[in-house]
Chains A and B, each alone.
Chain A
Amino acid sequence: MNAGAKTAAVLGGGSWGTALAHVMACNGTKVLLWMRNDERVAEVNERHTNERYLKDRKIHTDVEATADLQRAAEFAETLIVAIPSANFRSVAYELGDFVRGDQILVSATKGFEAEHLTRMSELLREETCCRKIGAISGPNLADEVMDNQPTATVVASPYEEVIEKTAALLAGPTMRVYGNHDIVGVEVHGALKNIIAIAAGMATGMKLGQNASAMLLTRGLAEISRFAEALGADKLTALGLAGLGDLIATCSSPLSRNNTLGRKLSEGLTLAQAQADTVKVAEGVNTTFAAAKHASRLGVDMPITRGIHAVLFDDLSAAEVLSKLMARANRYEHSEFPIDAPHLVEGSVVETALAVAARERGW
């Protein structure tokens, strides 16, 4: 491990991993970026670009790429892991051979492992000996970050040490960092918003107006925060950068890959066709599958997620799903209780009798 100079390692040379490495290097940190592909390693080291993901944007020269996982693992105290959720566990397992208990691991991947709804930080915990684990999430579109546009992100961990040290690496003139102890909420919101982003892409593709997209965002937030709370998240996280903030960014940006996927699906392409011409992984597909699978077990009603699931995996069209959603029973906004269903009788004995009598008269 290097003494003296600030160092960090990033695992995963996709767009977000590379952008994080770039941001930290801009803040005066020596960064080692691990990626599997030797050609791309050479590209980053020689031309300082990662064209496959970030076109011709220039990466800071203090970012060095390597294909040697052991070297990256031993390079720094703090390691940021930005591997697609589908490969996350296997990389974390390999990483487990090299890391030690005093190192900090931070997941920058938004997604779940579908089988048991395992969060990425939980995978790091399961596959390595490390305990000081955190997660980064927020409205951070990689391209904008590379273009030095101002942004803010959330570093979540039960360990203050993780928040402090990661914030020290990331915070700079173009990035503000907020801490949050609610790692469950931050990760769950970060993952689930991708489902709503697919729906938002469909809405755009169907040329729906602003009313529709506002409805989608707010009801989407309502259902994903119900899900997050069922998993133990803090209510307030839904209203923060990792909740509402990320949702707005992802749903309103044509740059978002989930949004793009939704748009293509609404044009009638199948999932395979829609994904065929993109190199970037749309995490929302996996997440929709995982969330739909576990929602009923958790006792959470997720109508929008069910609809997206139907489009992705059951070949329903976006228009069919929209009409089904619009035909649902009208409900109370917070309790989700159907407006026209008979209410549970409550109150004093006399009030109960009056309410029952009124109901019998058809009121």
Chain B
Amino acid sequence: MQNTLRDAAIVELRSRVLEACIMQSKLPDGMPLDVLVNDTLYHEKKRLDIDRKSPTRAEDQAFWAGVKAKLSRGSEDDVRDVLAQIIGRFAEEIRGNFSQSLYSVATKVMPKALPILLNAMSPRRLMQRGIPDISDTIVIEGETEAIKKVAKRGTVILTPTHVSNLDSPVIGWAIYALGLPAFTYGAGLNLFSNPMMALFMRNLGAYRVDRLKTAPLYKDVLKEYATVSLEMGNHNLFFPAGTRVRSGKIEQRLKLGLLSSGLKAYINNLQRAKERPNIYIVPATLNYYLVLEAETLIEDHLQREGKSRYIITDDESYLMRKILQFSQNLVNLEARITVRIGDPIDPFGNRVDPDTGASLDRHGREIDIRKYVTDRAGQAVHLPQRDRVYTQEAGESIAREFLRHNVVVATQLTAFTVWEVLKKRHPDLDLYRLVRTGDEGFGIPLGALTEKVMIVWKALHARAERGELHLENGIVQSGDAAGIVRAALRHFGTYHSKPVLTRKGDRVFCEDMKLLHYYSNRLRGYGLERELGQALAAEVTA
């Protein structure tokens, strides 16, 4: 968001949230303002007790001590002032420091910097080949024209899948490469503390999200920030999973908090009779051969439900050595990261005709979506319960699009096949035991594995033909099962601490069951297990 716009957004944001707080406090069951301030104070004090590393800790402590002092002797007007200050402080924290001139520099530097970051080539190869073209590393495909068209007709919310901290720079690059204007996006504070990531985020329209702040008022300010920025016509980037997916699966349960900003902004736009009120959601998938932080993520996932950490601040993406190693891998193996742009949908989850910007039902009939939110008099109104269900339905549409635009790569396909074979071999073991015991050193003959990969490939290919998913251009598309296994072994053998799969003689062994599970999970949700299961059962009978 540009600075002038951003100042205007802050003014709007402050008055909007303050007004809402005052209005609800007057309701019979509303929260009185002093209780609201106290509640926020309580959450913030609790956070400061835990968050001892925060660079603004002393400052924050002083601010909240001041709030406490004013509150104890304050009149009603004082409480209102204190509340306004708190809202203002949260808003300033969130907005970050965007600079147009720095943005211009960054966008010029990025095309050169990102390939170096991602490719991290040896000086010798750099000398030989020069700076590589980023498009060799990041492939952008899918509905690229559609996103450009709808970006001209309204405001876009880009919602990609989220597996890695590399997602932000990668999607940032894709936005730049598509020739779209800068997108505003909320990035966790932890990303700003990582020097590599901060380089790409600080000045690319990112606003700061502190996930340790649990005060409901902070979350309200945050959501309203996104809403205001959308109303001002700033395209936004949300990761609807909220955090990196730990299991490796394609996210199907989405966090709807931020997503609801899209519908809220749309209704506000209608109320203000904006010329281009429409908000378009564009799902996208990010597809990696190997995931930078896979080891930490799956480890966290397997800590069983409830124990896993929401925020991880010590994974591979914080280690320069690992990032370089990962990047080198990308270049040496000519691995590509595929960004696939999905079809645009409206804030209610209907598909959109990119040429006209109109929403369509399943039979292609045009829908007047204003009717979803207008009352009998034709006025657009917010109805929180109704709007939550609308947003939930939009979330379901995004989840479906994620599955449809998933691009299958060789590592996932091979890992899935091996995992299912091992699971079949040990029907008595539950997930955790299987992960611990592994394949007990038996391995799978290469020829047998290739056959099974072919079975899964055929099932995938049939689904791809029906438009239910996509196969990566190249080896996976070709259907050369032996080549797919070779490609997977090549990748799995390099980057991770232990090779996920390795070939010894004519057998393939798994050396890291957790990672095998992680990579296999990307193909869950398509019912492939049954098809491979039937083939394996037939084999046993034979």
Chain A: minimal CB distance from B237 (Å)? 26
A132 to B385, CA, bound (A): 12
Contact B368 A100 (CB under 8 A): yes
Q: Which of A158-166, A224-232, A257-265 contacts B (4 or more CB under 8 A)?
A: A158-166
**Is the pair A96, B386 in contact by a Cβ cutoff of 8 Å?**
no
Q: Is A128 an interface residue (CB 8 A)?
A: yes
Given A101-B368, A101-B369: A93 in contact with B385 (beta carbons within 8 A):
no
Take A102-B372, A129-B350, A131-B372 as given contacts and tell me if A97 and B385 are in contact as well, using a CB distance cutoff of 8 Å. no
Contacts of B389 in A (CB 8 A): 131, 158-159
Write the nearest CB–CB distance from A158 to chain B, whole angstroms: 5
Given A102-B372, A160-B386, A161-B386, the answer on whether A96 and B348 have CB atoms closer than 8 Å is no
Q: Please indicate the chain B residues that have their CB under 8 angstroms from the CB of A127 in the complex.
A: 362-363
Contact across chains for A131 and B393 when beta carbons are under 8 A apart: yes
Q: Which residues of chain A from 23 to 60 have a CB within 8 Å of any chain B CB?
A: none
Interface size bracket, B side:
20 to 34
Contact mask A77-121 → B, CB, 8 Å, 1/0? 100000000000000010011001110000000000000000000
A96 near B365 with CB under 8 A, answer yes
Contact with A along B349-381 (1 / 0, CB 8 A): 010000000000111010111111010100000
Interface positions, chain A 191-245, Cβ under 8 Å from B, are none
Cβ-based interface call for A126 (8 A): yes
A101 with B372, Cβ < 8 A, contacts A127-B362, A128-B361 known: yes
For residue A153, give the distance in angstroms from its CB to the closest CB of chain B.
22
Q: How far is the CA of A100 from the CA of B361 in the complex (A)?
A: 11
Q: What residue in chain A is nearest B530 (Cβ atoms)?
A: A297
Q: How far, in whole Å, are A126 and B386 apart by their CA atoms in the complex?
A: 19
A161 to B362, CA, bound (A): 24
Answer whether residue B103 sits at the interface, using C-beta atoms and an 8 A cutoff: no
Known: A101-B367, A131-B390, A131-B393. A160 touches B362 (CB 8 A): no
Q: Is there a chain A Cβ closer than 8 Å to B383's Cβ?
A: yes
Q: Is the CB of A159 within 8 A of B386?
A: yes
Is the pair A96, B361 in contact by a Cβ cutoff of 8 Å? yes
CB–CB A131/B365 < 8 A: no
Contact A131 B362 (CB under 8 A): no
How far in angstroms is the closest Cβ of chain A from B278? 14
Which of A93, A100, A158, A160 is B371 in contact with, Cβ under 8 Å?
A: A100
Interface pair A96/B371, CB less than 8 Å apart: no
Report the separation of the CA atoms of residues A97 and B385 in the bound assembly, to the nearest whole angstrom: 28
Q: A77 — which chain B residues lie within 8 A by C-beta? A: 376
Residue of A nearest to B349 (CB): A131
Bound-complex Cα distance A128 to B362 (A): 8
User: When A101-B371, A102-B371 are in contact, do A129 and B365 touch as well, CB less than 8 Å?
Assistant: yes
Interface size on A, residues (CB 8 A): 18
How many Å lie between the Cα of A93 and that of B348 in the bound state? 20
Collect the chain A residues with CB atoms within 8 Å of residue B363's CB. 93, 96, 127
Question: How far, in angstroms, from A126 to B389 measured CA to CA in the complex?
Answer: 16
Nearest CB of A to B87, in Å: 30
Contact in complex: A159, B348 (CB < 8 Å): no
Q: How far is the CA of A126 from the CA of B372 in the complex (A)?
A: 16
Determine how close the nearest CB of chain B comes to the CB of A197; give it in whole angstroms: 32
A150–chain B nearest beta-carbon distance, Å: 30
Q: Which residues of B contact A159 (CB under 8 A)?
A: 385-386, 389
Q: Which residues from B are CB-within-8-Å of A101?
A: 367-372
Chain A minimum-CB-distance residue to B374: A102
* Distance of B399 from chain A, by nearest CB (Å): 14
Complex alpha-carbon distance, A126 and B349, angstroms: 12
Mask: chain A, 131-164; 1 = CB below 8 Å from B; 0 = not: 1100000000000000000000000001111000
Contact with B along A272-291 (1 / 0, CB 8 A): 00000000000000000000
CB distance from A207 to the nearest CB of B (A): 44
Q: Which residues between 156 and 183 of chain A lie within 8 Å of chain B, taking CB atoms?
A: 158-161
Most buried by A among B369, B370, B372, B392: B372
Kindly report which residue of chain B lies nearest to residue A162, judged by CB atoms: B386
A3 neighbours in B (Cβ, 8 Å): 376
A160 touches B385 (CB 8 A): yes
A102 CB to closest chain B CB (Å) equals: 4
Residues of A close to B350: CB separation below 8 A? 129
Q: Which residues of B contact A129 (CB under 8 A)?
A: 350, 361, 365, 367
Give chain B nearest CB distance to A295 CB in angstroms.
15
User: Is the beta-carbon distance between B390 and A161 smaller than 8 angstroms?
Assistant: no
Is B383 a contact partner of A161 (Cβ separation < 8 A)? yes
Instruction: Enumerate B237-254 residues with CB–CB distance to A below 8 Å.
Output: none
Residue of A nearest to B362 (CB): A126
User: A213 CA to B385 CA in the complex, in Å?
Assistant: 43
In angstroms, how far is the closest chain B Cβ from the Cβ of A224? 24
| B:376-418 near A, CB below 8 Å | 376, 383, 385-386, 389-390, 392-393
Complex Cα spacing A129 to B390, Å: 13
Contacts of A128 in B (CB 8 A): 361
Distance in Å: Cβ of B375 to nearest Cβ of chain A: 8
Q: When chains A and B are docked, how far (Å) is the Cα of A100 from the Cα of B363?
A: 15
What CA separation (Å) do A126 and B351 show in the bound complex?
Answer: 13
Separation in Å of the B359 CB from the closest CB of chain A?
8
For the complex, give the distance between the alpha carbons of A159 and B372 in Å. Answer: 12
Q: How far is the CA of A96 from the CA of B361 in the complex (A)?
A: 9
| Chain A neighbourhood of B386, CB < 8 A | 132, 159-161
Q: Within 8 Å CB of B371, what residues of A?
A: 100-102
Q: Which residues of B contact A131 (CB under 8 A)?
A: 348, 372, 389-390, 393
CA–CA, A56 and B369, complex, Å: 45
A186 CB → nearest B CB, Å? 16
Q: Which residues of chain A are within 8 angstroms of B393 by Cβ–Cβ distance?
A: 131
The CA-CA distance from A129 to B369 in the complex, in Å, is 9
Residues of B within 8 A of A102 (CB): 371-372, 374
B66 CB, min distance to chain A CBs, angstroms: 42
**Cβ–Cβ < 8 Å partners of B369 in chain A:** 101
Q: How far is the CA of A172 from the CA of B3 in the complex (A)?
A: 59
Chain B min CB distance to A95 (Å): 12
Nearest CB of A to B392, in Å: 8
- B365 to A97, Cβ gap below 8 A? yes
Looking at A3, A128, A131, A159, the one whose CB has the most chain B CB atoms below 10 A away is A131
- Name the B residues within 8 Å of A126 (CB-CB): 362
Q: Quick one: closest B residue to A128, CB to CB?
A: B361
Q: How far is the CB of B138 from chain A (nearest CB, A)?
A: 37
Chain B proximity of A46: nearest CB distance (Å): 33
Instruction: Name B333-351 residues within 8 Å CB distance of A.
Output: 348, 350
- How far does the alpha carbon of A100 sit from the alpha carbon of B345 in the complex, in Å? 18
A93 to B383, CA, bound (A): 28
CB distance from A157 to the nearest CB of B (A): 9
Chain A residue contacts of B390, Cβ below 8 A: 131
A160 CA / B385 CA spacing, docked (Å): 7
Interchain nearest-CB distance for B82 vs A (Å): 35
B372 CB to nearest chain A CB (Å) = 4
- In the complex, which residue of chain B has the Cβ closest to the Cβ of A297? B530
Q: How far is the CA of A97 from the CA of B365 in the complex (A)?
A: 8
Query: Roughly how many angstroms separate A205 CA and B60 CA in the complex, as a whole number?
Result: 78
Contact with B along A9-27 (1 / 0, CB 8 A): 0000000000000000000
A265 to B26, CA, bound (A): 65
B306 → chain A closest CB, angstroms:
21
How distant is the Cα of A149 from the Cα of B241 in the complex, in angstroms?
51
Q: CA A131 – CA B390 in complex, angstroms?
A: 8
Bound form: Cα–Cα A161–B385 in Å: 9
Contacts of B392 in A (CB 8 A): 158
Chain B 465-493, CB within 8 Å of chain A: the 1/0 string?
A: 00000000000000000000000000000
A-B contact pairs, 6 of them (CB 8 A): A93-B363, A96-B365, A101-B367, A101-B371, A128-B361, A160-B385
Interface contacts beyond A101-B368, A102-B374, A161-B386: sample of 14 additional A-B pairs, CB < 8 Å, sorted by A: A3-B376, A96-B361, A96-B365, A97-B365, A127-B362, A127-B363, A129-B361, A129-B365, A129-B367, A131-B390, A158-B392, A159-B386, A159-B389, A160-B386
A: residues with CB less than 8 A from B are 3, 77, 93, 96-97, 100-102, 126-129, 131-132, 158-161
The 8 closest A-B pairs by CB, nearest first: A101-B371, A102-B371, A129-B367, A101-B372, A129-B361, A158-B389, A100-B371, A160-B385
